[in-house]
Structure 1
Amino acid sequence: MQISESNMSGKTTIKGNPSQYVKLNVGGCLHYTTIGTLTKQDTMLRAMFSGRMEVLSDSDGWILIDRCGKHFGTILNFLRDGSVSLPDSTKEIAELLAEAKYYCIAELAESCNKALTKKERAEPICKVPLITSQKEEEDLISSTTKPAIKLLINRHNNKYSYTTASDDNLLKNIELFDKLSLWYSNRVLFLKDVISTSEICCWVFYGHGKKVSEVCCTSIVYATDKKHTKVECPEARIYEETLNILLYESRNAPNQDLMQATSTRGAVTMSSYTSDEEEERTARS
């Protein structure tokens, strides 16, 4: 291997037999490979190790490349084989793409771009599990480190006829749930229950694996001849409970004074009902 070096600057030009090895220090990650691998494809590395470009070296003979070395092993494998398995995560593919562009490895950069495009099409913005059993709900809530919000929605629980605005309010609750799940999916586990028969529309909020509060959106109202089911969408209270549940993101229980200050009700309680309504709810459950 032919090496010419300027002692003042530490710059070196390298040209040698393809079977000869060189030592590379890429951002603190050490690699040992052949000149043949580095010059196998028409890239910036070929220019660096065929004598066309100067490279930096230290006193121990390591060639210094001022880049993050996290993906340099993948770069070398691609140069050796012409193909390589890409990382699973979007973040790491994007990192590898940046390195491929820096070293002017067009084929690898194209593969990364295609993989990112495919992931953008396939990956949902958020995922909302659909509850199919009580045990599944318990397992999901107990296994997550996030606070959780569950919407129980059951339009078919129609023992009594619905009031005029009830259908619209059911849709409003669903739309609000979808909106919140898009906003907070990275911070909160959202669950949807469409099989339970205990309620028609109810929000349940969990922190540290335990139920913290709920907002029941249904009640029984009385007409002259019969009872009706009324569904409401108390947006302000749902927003309030959502903000309160974010206090459970930390491992420590939230400060009760802070909970008191952020609550317009002074305490987390269910909506009140008349005794007749309470009897009706008990009978239905």
Structure 2
Amino acid sequence: MFNLKTMSGETTIKGNPSQYVKLNVGGCLHYTTIGTLTKHDTMLRAMFSGRMEVLSDSDGWILIDRCGKHFGAILNFLRDGSVSLPESTRDIAELVAEAKYYCIAELVESCNKALLKKERGEHEPTCRVPMITSQKEEEMLISSTTKPSIKLLINRHNNKYSYTSTSDDNLLKNIELFDKLSLWYSSRVLFLKDVISTSEICCWVFYGHGRKVSEVCCTSIVYAPHKVYTKVDCPEARIYEEALNILLYESRNAPDQELMQATSTRGAVSGMSTYTSDEEEERSGIERLRSNKSNNQA
């Protein structure tokens, strides 16, 4: 327990960092530890380390005569060293005033930078999709994020064959689907766009905990009697399935295998799962090509 020593109707507090205290900040009630309040060199450290006297009521609530609107943000900054700033200029200015009162210099600096950006008309986009410039950059982005990742490899110029009649439309459908998913899940998933790789023309790759989990390849080779074509598909259901499965990697623990089994139409839960849009057509095309070659030789 922390020690309460009454002096002229006021109180000095000093206790174990793990001990909780009750705060009444302008009528807003908060419950936190002494360790949080004394974590940084601020006025709150002085108040809750016994160096300053504080007021308390008969129920044991420590009274702080400040507006409590932004005190939750103050506590979160003390806990984590950073905090999401309010959207409006007015709220940021109010938070600056509170941070100055509690002598939290880093938070004051962050708020002032945000206010300066707003004055200049700068805007932070809600959705960001990095464009991959090298394999090294891709590896760094995927390994450094705590989110699951989805990469769309889209590279139409990497094609020595001609396209089927529906390929161009399907290529655009893949791009549109990627854009929709990135807007919906940008706060939960890191989306990457790769336009420099030469391994495929259109391929989705899904990563969890920094490693490749699955992929959906949307291109296949079609063998016609006198020409070889490249076919591009847009298997939306398959892509949605993998996108939902990758959300299971948001937690630090590996997804439950039974849950993965239940959410997968394929039942492929161990290792990396792959999907090729038209494998059977490709195999049958190869067989026809071999058969025609044998007949010609005969």
Aligned to 1:6: none
Aligned to 1:152: 153
Q: Structure 1 pair 112/261, CA: closer, same or farther in 2 (3 Å)?
A: same
Shift in Å at residue 96 of structure 1? Answer: 3.7
Aligned to 2:162: 161
Aligned to 1:140: 141
| Equivalent-residue separation in structure 1 for 2:286 and 2:215 (angstroms) | 16
Aligned to 2:275: 270
Amino acid corresponding to residue 214 of structure 2 in structure 1: S
Shift in Å at residue 116 of structure 1? Answer: 8.3
Aligned to 1:236: 237
Match of 2:86 among 82, 91, 108: 91
- 1:112-169 deviation per Cα after TM superposition (whole angstroms, max 9, x unaligned): 9976866986221211111011111001100011000000000101211011111111
Contact 1:94 1:116 in 2 (8 A): no
Question: Over aligned residue pairs, what C-alpha RMSD do you find?
Answer: 3.8
Contact 2:152 2:203 in 1 (8 A): yes
Amino acid corresponding to residue 138 of structure 2 in structure 1: E
Aligned to 1:53: none
Partner of 1:155, secondary structure, is coil
| Equivalent-residue separation in structure 1 for 2:86 and 2:235 (angstroms) | 39
Aligned to 1:68: 68
Gap regions ≥5 residues in structure 2:
1-8, 10-23, 31-36, 44-54, 72-81, 98-111, 288-298
Q: Structure 1 pair 114/141, CA: closer, same or farther in 2 (3 Å)?
A: closer
TM-score, with length taken from structure 2:
0.59
Counterparts in 2 of 1:195-210, with a 5 A limit? 195-210=196-211
| Equivalent-residue separation in structure 2 for 1:100 and 1:207 (angstroms) | 38
| Equivalent-residue separation in structure 1 for 2:286 and 2:201 (angstroms) | 15
Partner of 2:248, secondary structure, is helix
Shift in Å at residue 180 of structure 1? Answer: 0.4
Q: Structure 1 pair 123/99, CA: closer, same or farther in 2 (3 Å)?
A: closer
Aligned to 1:21: none
| Equivalent-residue separation in structure 1 for 2:285 and 2:143 (angstroms) | 33
Contact 2:223 2:285 in 1 (8 A): no
Aligned to 2:51: none
Shift in Å at residue 220 of structure 1? Answer: 0.8
TM-score, with length taken from structure 1:
0.61
Partner of 1:257, secondary structure, is helix
| Equivalent-residue separation in structure 2 for 1:175 and 1:200 (angstroms) | 16
Contact 2:158 2:200 in 1 (8 A): yes
Partner of 2:207, secondary structure, is strand
| Equivalent-residue separation in structure 2 for 1:198 and 1:63 (angstroms) | 64
Q: Structure 1 pair 229/89, CA: closer, same or farther in 2 (3 Å)?
A: same
Aligned to 1:246: 247
- 1:36-55 deviation per Cα after TM superposition (whole angstroms, max 9, x unaligned): xxxxxxxxxxxxxxxxxxxx
Aligned to 2:261: 260
| Equivalent-residue separation in structure 1 for 2:226 and 2:286 (angstroms) | 20
- 1:256-278 deviation per Cα after TM superposition (whole angstroms, max 9, x unaligned): 11111001111133234544779
Shift in Å at residue 100 of structure 1? Answer: 9.1
Q: Structure 1 pair 197/95, CA: closer, same or farther in 2 (3 Å)?
A: same
Gap regions ≥5 residues in structure 1:
1-9, 11-24, 32-56, 72-86, 102-110, 280-285
Contact 1:146 1:207 in 2 (8 A): yes
Q: Structure 1 pair 248/63, CA: closer, same or farther in 2 (3 Å)?
A: closer
Contact 1:155 1:200 in 2 (8 A): yes
Q: Structure 1 pair 151/99, CA: closer, same or farther in 2 (3 Å)?
A: closer
